[in-house]
Amino acid sequence: MSDFTPTEHTQVKRLPKRGKYDRKTVHAILDAAFVCHVGFCVEGQPYVIPTNYGRSGDTVYLHGSAASRMLRTLSEGVPVCVTVTLVDGLVLARSAFHHSVNYRSVVMLGAARLVEDPAEKMEALRLFTEHVMKGRWDEVRWPTEQEMKATTVLALPLEEVSAKVRTGGPVDDEADYTLPVWAGVLPLEMVPQEPIADPQRKVDQPLPAYIKNYSR
């Protein structure tokens, strides 16, 4: 699996040793998260919008209402920056200055393409569903033709992309290691809670195994 080529915009300059450009790392981060932030400008006003996404190979798909200003703007080919971040732990040092966070992040730059082919559009919607909840697509009602028309799907190729990763414990100044302050890492992870059934349900269905055993 080849690496992405760093560009002037994606080369990690601050702490460059944390920069990662291999597809394996980038794909793994994108597959572990399911919320991205989409940055773009409209008439000089910057916006950053959180949304879900799906990935197929080196393509990231975004979707939403056909009335969405974000999707309508991006479909015109304006430059876009899409970011994904996973927080893995709080790094607690002996000094306030050296506190940090263990994280995995990806930054993607480029221009999105409007997905018009019905088969690709349906596949993208399947990807969104399966990315958030694997196993769900085969159980739910698929989108109708009217729902498809009300939905916009965009494809962003992974071309200008880089990842940045921090792992490990705190790095204190040598003189601070003798301070009587606890230091280390507080790991963080997403943990599902007890599922809450829809009170409007007409049929009682057993809880699917993919929900009962959900993890990321």
In tens digits, what is the pLDDT along the chain, a chain of 216 residues?
A: 679 988 888 888 888 889 899 999 999 999 999 999 999 999 899 999 999 999 999 999 999 999 999 999 999 999 999 999 999 999 999 999 999 999 999 999 999 999 999 999 999 999 999 999 999 999 999 999 999 999 999 999 999 999 999 999 999 999 999 999 999 999 999 999 999 999 998 888 899 999 999 988
Which CATH number, 2.30.110.10, 3.50.50.60, 3.20.20.70, 3.30.390.30, labels domain 16-88+101-167? 2.30.110.10
The C-alpha atoms of residue 145 and residue 5 are separated, in whole angstroms, by 40
Query: Which pLDDT does position 113 carry in this prediction?
Result: 96
Decide the pairing of beta strands 113-114 and 45-56: unpaired
**Whole-prediction pTM value?**
0.91
The C-alpha atoms of residue 83 and residue 86 are separated, in whole angstroms, by 10
List, in sequence order, every residue forming a beta bridge with 190; answer none if it has no partner.
none
Query: Which pLDDT does position 1 carry in this prediction?
Result: 61
Q: What is the DSSP letter of 5?
A: P
Distance of CA 107 to the CA centre of its chain: 10
Query: Which pLDDT does position 79 carry in this prediction?
Result: 95
